[in-house]
A and B are shown apart, each in its own frame.
Chain A
Amino acid sequence: KAGVTQTPRYLIKTRGQQVTLSCSPISGHRSVSWYQQTPGQGLQFLFEYFSETQRNKGNFPGRFSGRQFSNSRSEMNVSTLELGDSALYLCASSLGTESVSGNQPQHFGDGTRLSIL
């Protein structure tokens, strides 16, 4: 079974630009979560999608948005990029259930390394 695939692996942008990152979950997984990882803040939750609906959102500004398609693939978008947005962005998928549950392992991709110049 193929794992979680994130594209692109590396991205360089300049301040003020916008970026779209893509995530293909494991086949059959309906929940997709996005995280930002930086050396100073660690792994921080951005948002979670289930059946094309955003179910939960972390404490990030509105410049960070996402969506999920009917095939469970997900994209996240960051607009008006700032230097502080440089990070590793990780996507994780899980089977997902109608009610949010913490008892399911999350399967992570290897991330997109975003660098802002």
Chain B
Amino acid sequence: SQKIEQNSEALNIQEGKTATLTCNYTNYSPAYLQWYRQDPGRGPVFLLLIRENEKEKRKERLKVTFDTTLKQSLFHITASQPADSATYLCALDNYGQNFVFGPGTRLSVLP
């Protein structure tokens, strides 16, 4: 059956450290994978998109990797700040039909 998993429901890290979030999928072959941030009571906000033929994508303190062999994407936030605390969702395109979202990881950056 098809499945998307994100490493843990919650992740606590110390301010200044690098946060690494994992997105694993089964029985999908996405051409694209996206990452979103969601704050309580708000809709998700788009952060980064990576294509299947790209290994890595960066935007300021954010970095995403995409390994189609491992069927995994890693999302890194370097020099994390308390303002980075939020839920992070990965989403992959389902054969161009629609987006399928992972369950999310709630990140807390402790001062």
Contact partners of B93 in chain A: CB under 8 A: 101-103
With A45-B98, A45-B99, A58-B98 known as contacts, the answer to whether A103 contacts B31 (CB < 8 A) is yes
Docked-complex contact A111 and B43, CB < 8 angstroms: yes
CA distance A58 to B87 in the complex (A): 24
Shortest distance from the beta carbon of A40 to any chain B beta carbon, whole Å: 10
The interface residues of chain A lying within 8 Å CB-to-CB of B102 are 42
Asked whether A110 and B42 contact (CB < 8 A) given A33-B98, A102-B32, A103-B32, the answer is yes
Q: Report, as a range, how many residues of chain B touch the other chain.
A: 20 to 34
> With A102-B93, A105-B49 given, is the CB distance from A45 to B100 under 8 Å?
yes
Mask, B21-55, CB within 8 Å of A = 1, is 00000000011101010000111111001010000
- Tally of chain A residues near chain B (CB < 8 A): 24
Closest residue of chain B to A46, judged by CB?
B98
B30 to chain A, nearest CB (A): 7
22 residue pairs of the A-B complex, CB under 8 angstroms, read: A42-B101, A42-B104, A43-B44, A45-B98, A48-B98, A58-B98, A100-B97, A101-B96, A102-B31, A102-B32, A102-B99, A103-B31, A103-B32, A103-B49, A105-B46, A105-B49, A106-B34, A106-B99, A108-B36, A109-B43, A110-B42, A111-B43
Interface residue ranges, B against A (CB under 8 Å): 30-32, 34, 36, 41-46, 49, 51, 89, 91-94, 96-104
